[in-house]
Amino acid sequence: MPAPSFYFPAPRTQKFCSQCGAALVIRIPPDDNRQRDVCENCGAIHYQNPRNVVGVLPVLDDTVLLCKRAIQPRYGKWTLPAGFMELSETTAQGAMRETQEEAGAQIELGPLYTVIDVPAVNQVHIFYLGKVLSPELHPGPESLEAGFFKESEIPWGDLAFRTVSSTLEHYFKDKPSGQFPTRHYDVLFPVGD
């Protein structure tokens, strides 16, 4: 079989059973109350659930670390290092991993800071505070560049996501008090202003 000419993340729409390969039907399974993708051949029910995006707000002195995205969506926009949580890791481990992968930054992880529901895209975004241990950065392939920004230098009009801009806004509001309690809220329009 020739290799596919391109690869893509499997979308939420499922047509075939991952267990036996039969065509799926949409129905409410026994003892359930909503429609699922169900295999009437082998009986497998293909539940789908929201995904977590985990990241860090990395701080060095009076600056924060941002990465310029080299991938879609929001190519060329600035973001905090973050990405999908993987199996077999904690939210903290995932947040550390993404910071390493996207910025090549060495950090000491701080407290859980923002927990943001984004139901429009079936995601929950979770950001930790982090202390950058060295100004040396090694941006990975998902970042065009990475750098440190004072509050007055943040490219507010060119941030990738509302979860990123709102986390930064909370940080600069909380900073004078030195208190950073966990903040939880919803973002209804992930890339809106």
- List residues binding its own copies (CB under 8 A): 1, 3-12, 14-21, 23-24, 29-31, 33-34, 38-52, 84-93, 101, 111-112, 115, 117, 119, 122, 124, 126, 141, 181-182, 184, 186
Q: For residues 95 and 159, which CB has a smaller minimum distance to its own copies in the complex?
A: 95
Residue 48 Cβ, how far from its own copies at the closest point, in Å?
Answer: 6
Q: For residues 5 and 152, which CB has a smaller minimum distance to its own copies in the complex?
A: 5
Core vs surface per residue 83-116: b (16+ CB within 10 A) or e: bebeeeeebbebbbbbbbbbbbbbbebbebbbeb
Cα distance between residue 130 and residue 168, in whole Å: 13
Residue 118 Cβ, how far from its own copies at the closest point, in Å?
Answer: 9
Cα distance between residue 161 and residue 159, in whole Å: 6
Give, as one character, the DSSP assignment of residue 182.
-
Q: For residues 90 and 133, which CB has a smaller minimum distance to its own copies in the complex?
A: 90
Q: For residues 39 and 159, which CB has a smaller minimum distance to its own copies in the complex?
A: 39
Residue 184 Cβ, how far from its own copies at the closest point, in Å?
Answer: 4
Residue 90 Cβ, how far from its own copies at the closest point, in Å?
Answer: 4
Cα distance between residue 151 and residue 28, in whole Å: 51
Q: For residues 48 and 172, which CB has a smaller minimum distance to its own copies in the complex?
A: 48
Residue 6 Cβ, how far from its own copies at the closest point, in Å?
Answer: 6
Cα distance between residue 91 and residue 57, in whole Å: 14
Helix H or strand E segment including 70: none
